[in-house]
């Protein structure tokens, strides 16, 4: 394989995904990133990163996206399943759409992209997949039964896939952040900030760049004997 590895990061327009995209670019990868809109794609491209439209809640979008990747002869050897949304509600009030949107984006999206990218990794006989999970998968969260269930599914999927492809030098890991400062956690910061800080031994939210550093390590040759793991990064919120 060539020296320059190609990394695909879903949800690279903002937050953790954008930090990962920049970190991997700085470390010499060819980076491809996705957003749901043309304006998001432009934000990515303005950072010198390949930008693509992908809405994981739409099977048409997934097909169009992958057609484009194949037409451009991209050979993905690093896949970061990062794109994410929340649709919080208590179970008694949760709509079917709030449930299925979360399953589509987090769990089905991870499955669909792994299935396609793995074919490229198998040919290259090398690969890295990092699935972004959440501390919610381990500790649960009131109003996030959909999100916690999807992320727990992602972690179980990670272990199973690691067993399927380990012999081909492909590692599959999950990274489970606690509270990281991004658009997703903006609402929690105001209302629950004091309570949350008490629960986090390090006494602060994490930064997207701190998650990106961990992901960069897991993608590197230094992490060659780590697979099937969920690595927690949460300031001690969950131990």
Please tell me the distance from the alpha carbon of residue 198 to that of residue 237, in angstroms, as a whole number: 9
Please tell me the distance from the alpha carbon of residue 218 to that of residue 214, in angstroms, as a whole number: 6
By CB under 6 A, the residues from 193 to 212 that bind ligand NAP are none
Contact by Cβ (8 Å): 75, 29: no
Least distance in Å: CB of 99 to ligand NAP?
15
Q: Is 83 in the site for ligand NAP (CB under 6 A)?
A: yes
Which ranges of 74-144 does DSSP label H, i.e. alpha helix?
96-102, 109-124, 136-139
Least distance in Å: CB of 3 to ligand NAP?
28
Please tell me the distance from the alpha carbon of residue 79 to that of residue 135, in angstroms, as a whole number: 21
Q: What separation in angstroms does the CA of 181 have from each of 146, 204, 220?
A: 21, 10, 25
Least distance in Å: CB of 172 to ligand NAP?
16
By CB under 6 A, the residues from 135 to 194 that bind ligand NAP are 177, 179-180, 182-185
Both structure tokens of 129: 């997949």
- Specify the residue, 122 or 184, whose C-beta has the smaller distance to ligand NAP: 184
Q: Is 132 in the site for ligand NAP (CB under 6 A)?
A: yes
- Specify the residue, 106 or 124, whose C-beta has the smaller distance to ligand NAP: 106
**C-alpha closest to that of 170 among 203, 128, 136, 139:** 128
Of 21-29, 83-91, 138-146, 162-170: span binding ligand NAP (CB under 6 A): 83-91
- Specify the residue, 58 or 224, whose C-beta has the smaller distance to ligand NAP: 58
Contact by Cβ (8 Å): 89, 95: yes
Q: Is 50 in the site for ligand NAP (CB under 6 A)?
A: no
Site string for ligand NAP, 17-46 (x = CB under 6 A): x-----------------xxx--x------
- Specify the residue, 13 or 171, whose C-beta has the smaller distance to ligand NAP: 13
Q: Which of 147, 195, 225, 238 is catalytic?
A: 147
Q: Is 230 in the site for ligand NAP (CB under 6 A)?
A: no
Spell out a b/e string for 208-234, using b for 16 or more CB atoms within 10 Å of the CB, else e.
bebbbebbbebbeeebeeebbbbbbbb
For residue 228, the 8-state DSSP code is S
Residue 47: exposure state from Cβ atoms within 10 A (0-12, 13-18, ≥19): middle
147 is catalytic: yes
By CB under 6 A, the residues from 51 to 80 that bind ligand NAP are 54-57
- Specify the residue, 84 or 124, whose C-beta has the smaller distance to ligand NAP: 84
Both structure tokens of 21: 């995209």
- Binding site residues, ligand NAP, CB under 6 A: 10-17, 35-37, 40, 54-57, 82-85, 105, 132, 134, 177, 179-180, 182-185
Q: Which residues are catalytic?
A: 147
């Amino acid at each position: 394989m060539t020296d320059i590895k190609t990394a695909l990061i879903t949800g690279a327009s903002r937050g953790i995904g954008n930090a990962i995209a920049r970190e991997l670019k700085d470390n010499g990868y060819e980076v491809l990133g996705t957003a749901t809109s043309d304006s998001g794609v432009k934000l990515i491209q303005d950072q010198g990163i390949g930008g693509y439209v992908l809405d994981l809640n739409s099977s048409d979008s997934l097909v169009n996206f992958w057609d484009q990747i194949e037409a451009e002869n991209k050979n993905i050897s690093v896949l970061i399943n990062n794109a994410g949304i929340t649709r919080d509600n208590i179970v008694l009030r949760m709509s079917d759409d709030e449930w299925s949107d979360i399953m589509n984006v987090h769990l089905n999206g991870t499955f669909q992209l792994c299935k396609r990218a793995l074919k490229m990794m198998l040919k290259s006989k090398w690969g890295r997949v990092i699935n972004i999970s959440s501390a919610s998968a381990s500790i649960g969260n009131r109003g996030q039964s959909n999100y916690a269930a999807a992320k727990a599914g992602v972690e179980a999927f990670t272990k199973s896939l690691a067993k399927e492809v380990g012999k081909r030098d492909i590692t599959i890991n999950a990274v489970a952040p606690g509270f990281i400062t991004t658009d997703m956690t903006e609402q929690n910061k105001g209302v629950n900030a004091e309570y949350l800080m008490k629960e986090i031994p390090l006494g602060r939210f994490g930064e997207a760049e701190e998650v990106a550093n961990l992901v960069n390590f897991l993608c590197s040759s230094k992490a060659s004997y780590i697979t099937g793991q969920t690595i927690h990064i949460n300031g001690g919120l969950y131990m």
